[in-house]
Structure 1
């Protein structure tokens, strides 16, 4: 049994190797924007839901867990048995709030995601996205994360916290990659069972530089952490995941790097089989080889090769 230091069993979310190979299909307005690039007229909710169901059917046989949103995926996926047996369910418990020039400018806990209901549906974890800005006060973010983790513990669900860095509100020039480590220092020791991080330096730069940043994230986060793929080109993501895992990451929770390149193809189901499935299989091979063999509750806090 794979338990964290807080006693939460993460076995259902992991591969037999002990690594996490988790698929994200909880994108909302971001997915609408991607689909809109390839069609005339507005993208309907049904179009987005259809894409998510196709992705779940094709990809979840190869993933250790799948992250679904309430608005467009959860109930339909449960009703249609779109998630493969053996692939754990994670419910996105966040409302994503748009703002000027940003599809997601803020977030809050989604009160319509009822922990008892999603657990009855088979969920083993909840995920919360948190917007981190260098010029916003820390206290509201910390309070939001603490509230979320407390709700997860009360419901017997694992908690996954996902800080995402955004530009300052004052408009000054700023590289969002500069916020990844400060966000982890603020939120990486609040008690989340899994910390979902943007890829340090977004995977760009020399291997030694990127790996040093990943090692620093390992020293900062108190518990297992996984990488997301936003900001990293799909073809570059397997290498980024390997560097991160060699420095202490436990795997990935990603969507775009797996299925982004099939959007706009005339036959989505065929493209998922021929393109997205091999991409996911390659990522699974990486984490099994590099991050496997560790219990998330007992992983070394120092980098390993």
Structure 2
């Protein structure tokens, strides 16, 4: 099992709160954020990277300041949120390497993409505490993963050479012709299998979809050993995610990296509206998640 170096451990400590648990606000989405800001595709296409950057800045200023870390993209958000003083000095910074969307192979497999020019050294130059890479994996279909595993190998090696923290995320997806019911039944197996792939490649911190059940969360924890894993929100409703966080933390998760479940119904093209909703809606949601994490960290500390 890969263990963090001193420098990586320091980065990990900085993305965690005082209780040692990850509480990261994710707003590295681009295409997904545009769909939330406008329902009409033509209007979405008019939303500039600058507008997205302003939205991410507001999320950092009004929501992430209440957490331990913010995850942003290098297209819209940095270096601006650092250079203009938006990001609070106590808020750690993760920078996403994955490009928006994916390509499709002739067989229908999702091929992940990287943002051009964003290396471990560049993440450091942009002021990042560390990086985050996301790829798509189908652990039951090895041929689907060849391209994306090569991306993981490349990124993990690059960050190791720079001695910089990298958080590894994967998502699963339904294959062509697979029914929603058949896919849903496989999710625990796919999350466990994808976690094993990432661990075998040397991942030291994992960001995972909800593994599907208490038993599957516990299985991921056993697989991970000393490697911490955070559960992501995947855009589910806040109440649903709160239950998932409860189960994940009770079964060995080390925290949360959450985005849309906190702010998806708070952002607006009117920044005054965004700021008000982040303060009145998103921050109380965050407090509920933090209370769940704190309760489980207290139990673990007392054990």
User: Do the aligned partners of 1:251 and 1:291 also contact (CA within 8 Å) in 2?
Assistant: no
> Whose helix proportion is higher, 1 or 2?
2
2: distance between equivalents of 1:257 and 1:72?
A: 21
- From 3, 6, 13, the equivalent of 1:5 is 3
C-alpha contact 1:251 1:287 (8 A) present in aligned 2 = yes
Alignment-derived partner of residue 142 in structure 1: 149
- TM-score, length basis structure 1: 0.84
Q: Is the Cα contact below 8 Å between 1:90 and 1:125 reproduced in 2? A: yes
Conserved? CA contact 2:152–2:201, under 8 Å: yes
Q: 1:20 aligns with which of 22, 44, 55?
A: 22
Which residue of 1 is the match for residue 168 of structure 2? 161
Structure 2 CA distance for partners of 1:124 and 1:72, relative to 1, 3 Å: same
Q: How much does 1:114 deviate?
A: 3.6
Gaps of 5+ in 2: none
Aligned CA distance change for structure 1 residues 232 and 247 (closer, same or farther; 3 Å): same
Equivalenced residue count is: 282
Match of 1:126 in 2: 131
Q: Is 1:48 aligned to residue 52 of structure 2?
A: yes
State the Cα distance separating 1:141 from its structure 2 match: 3.0
Structure 1 residue 245: Cα displacement = 0.9
Q: Pairwise CA RMSD of aligned residues? A: 2.6
Stretch of structure 1 that moved more, 36-45 or 105-114: 36-45
Matches within 5 A, 1:1-305: 5-7=3-5, 8-9=8-9, 10-37=12-39, 41-42=43-44, 43-45=46-48, 46-98=50-102, 105-133=110-138, 134-135=140-141, 137=143, 138-168=145-175, 170-173=176-179, 174-175=182-183, 177-178=187-188, 179-201=190-212, 210-222=213-225, 223-264=227-268, 267-291=273-297
5+ long unaligned stretches in structure 1: 202-209, 296-303
2-structure distance, mates of 1:219, 1:185: 11
Assess if the C-alpha contact under 8 Å between 2:131 and 2:165 holds in 1.
Answer: yes
Deviates more, 1:117-126 or 1:56-65: 117-126
Contact 1:116–1:155, Cα closer than 8 Å, also in 2: yes
Kept in 2: contact 1:246–1:291 (CA 8 A): no
Decide whether aligned partners of structure 1 residues 293 and 189 sit closer, same or farther in structure 2, where only a CA change above 3 A counts: farther
